[in-house]
Amino acid sequence: MQRPVFILSMITVVGLLIGYITGSFITRTYTLKRIAEVPGSPIVISSIYDSAQHAILVGLHNPGFVPINFINYSIVFTPGEYTNEAGYFLAPVALNATLQPQETMILTLSLKEHTQALAMGDVVTGTIVYTYEGLPEIYQLIHTFEQTTLTGGETQASKRRQTTARSDTIQQTNN
Amino acid sequence: MLAIFTIVVVVLLVVLLALVFLNFTFLTVTFPELAVFLASMLIFFLLSRRLIFENAFIIGFLSKIANGEPIEAKQVIGKMRGHPDVFSGWTPLSILSYWKNTIDVYRYTFYSLFALLLLLALIARFTALQTPLIAVFLETAVMGALIPVYFVWAYDSLASYYLNNALEL
């Protein structure tokens, strides 16, 4: 009697396949569950000065897998050499925005009312405070916008500098 | 004797299950799919118990026949559940082929249960736009049940091959 070579080899191949399928399924499920808990810090992908609204429009992207809740923003205005405006600090303005994972949104950071449009060399530093759902810590994102055209209102990509800093207390962020 | 043995085996299995779940308590809190996987695998192994063991006995006897070793009908009947007095005057090969046919009903039930589970998992997976939580658990149950199904299929196909060879079909 001949050995059942074909059936034995078929059983071996199918066994390897089933081991591969179940093992990769467990690994994939476990990894996806772990990845879904990773919070990502928001990334500034664009920022422009809109003269009609007298505001800075900041485009933000959430690269993580946890929704981001934006709490407030504050603004520091540093005058350049081509403006008569004095420097000022805007106290935190409440924001009620939630950025879903892997999505992009535009935040409107309004400047102080009844002030001149931004001129060349003016620097606006916006501090956006945010939290993650289920995490007690409060984080902040500092974005520096520099006006690079003579008059405001044009769509210009600004020199961007972005730093994220972690603050332990609310008082520290409100300073 | 057999009843005591069965009770002991069942108690041992329950203890093993409890130990597994106690050991994996920490992991199953954060990863409950593992518990579903293990539970599905154990349940389907319990369902496939007769299929796997009796097919293994059939393969053993048939390979002895194929190698030319003499076996007696009494040996086969001793390993078999049921009514031994029915088989007076039967050859070992005819008893084995009868035995193989009696466990076919378990095989069809087993495959039907797996197909039902697979169907439920597919329905849960593809009817909703957003994948519901139960779909993941059903899929994990299917993955756990795949392993006993593979063993059943392997033993059954080997037993069928040996039986067809012995009967020269």
Predicted complex ipTM? 0.75
Residues B127 and B51 grouped into a single domain: yes
Cβ atoms within 10 Å, residue B144? 25
Q: Provide the pLDDT for residue B35.
A: 83
A7 vs chain B: nearest CA distance in angstroms?
Answer: 7
Cβ-nearest to A11 among B140, B143, B154? B154
Token reading at A22: 């179940």
Residues B20 and B74 grouped into a single domain: no
Q: Would you call A26 and B165 a contact, using CB atoms and an 8 Å cutoff?
A: no
Reported as a single tens digit per residue, the pLDDT across B32-55 is: 888 888 889 989 999 999 899 999
Mean pLDDT, chain B, whole residue set: 86
Residues B10 and B91 grouped into a single domain: no
Q: Provide the pLDDT for residue A168.
A: 37
Chain A residues within 8 A of B143 when measuring between CB atoms: 21-22, 25-26
Q: Would you call B140 and A29 a contact, using CB atoms and an 8 Å cutoff?
A: yes
Residues B103 and B91 grouped into a single domain: yes
Residues B81 and B113 grouped into a single domain: yes
Counting every residue written for chain A, the total comes to 175
Q: Provide the pLDDT for residue B24.
A: 63
Residues B15 and B56 grouped into a single domain: no
Number of independent structural domains in chain B:
2
Dihedral, CA atoms, B39, B44, B50, B51, nearest 10 degrees? -150
Kindly list the averaged pLDDT for each block of 10 residues, start to end, along chain A of length 175: 84 95 90 87 92 90 92 92 87 91 92 86 93 90 86 42 37 40
Residues B7 and B62 grouped into a single domain: no
Chain B residues within 8 A of A18 when measuring between CB atoms: 146-147, 150
Q: Would you call A30 and B161 a contact, using CB atoms and an 8 Å cutoff?
A: no
Residues B9 and B90 grouped into a single domain: no
Q: Provide the pLDDT for residue A115.
A: 86
Token reading at B17: 């299950």
**Residue among A113, A116, A1 at smallest CA distance from B165:** A1
Residues B66 and B143 grouped into a single domain: yes
Query: Rounded to the nearest 5°, which phi and psi values hold at A12?
Result: -65, -45
Closest Cα in chain B to A17 = B150
Q: Provide the pLDDT for residue B69.
A: 86
* Cβ atoms of A85 and A116 closer than 8 Å: yes
Rounded to whole angstroms, the Cα distance separating B8 from B10 reads 5
* Cβ atoms of A123 and A146 closer than 8 Å: yes
Chain A residues within 8 A of B34 when measuring between CB atoms: 26
Residues B18 and B85 grouped into a single domain: no
The three-state secondary structure class of A58 is strand
Reported as a single tens digit per residue, the pLDDT across A25-45 is: 988 988 888 888 889 999 999
Q: Provide the pLDDT for residue B156.
A: 94
Cβ atoms within 10 Å, residue B91? 11
Beta bridge partners of A131: A69
* Cβ atoms of A112 and A158 closer than 8 Å: no
Q: Does B131 touch chain A (CB under 8 A)?
A: no
CA distances from A20 to A14, B32, B38, B143 (A): 10, 21, 17, 11
Residues B20 and B80 grouped into a single domain: no
Chain B residues within 8 A of A15 when measuring between CB atoms: 150, 154
Domain encompassing residue B14: 1-30
Contacts of B123 (CB under 8 A, 6+ apart): none
Closest Cα in chain A to B65 = A1
Q: Does B157 touch chain A (CB under 8 A)?
A: yes
Check residue B90 and report its DSSP letter: -
Check residue A92 and report its DSSP letter: E
* Cβ atoms of A74 and A90 closer than 8 Å: yes
Residues B146 and B91 grouped into a single domain: yes
Reported as a single tens digit per residue, the pLDDT across B112-158 is: 999 999 999 999 988 877 778 889 999 999 999 999 999 999 999 99
Beta bridge partners of A61: A43, A104
DSSP codes of every residue in A98-149: EE-TT-EEEEEEE--TT-PPPBTT-EEEEEEEEEETT---EEEEEEEEE--S
Q: Provide the pLDDT for residue B165.
A: 87
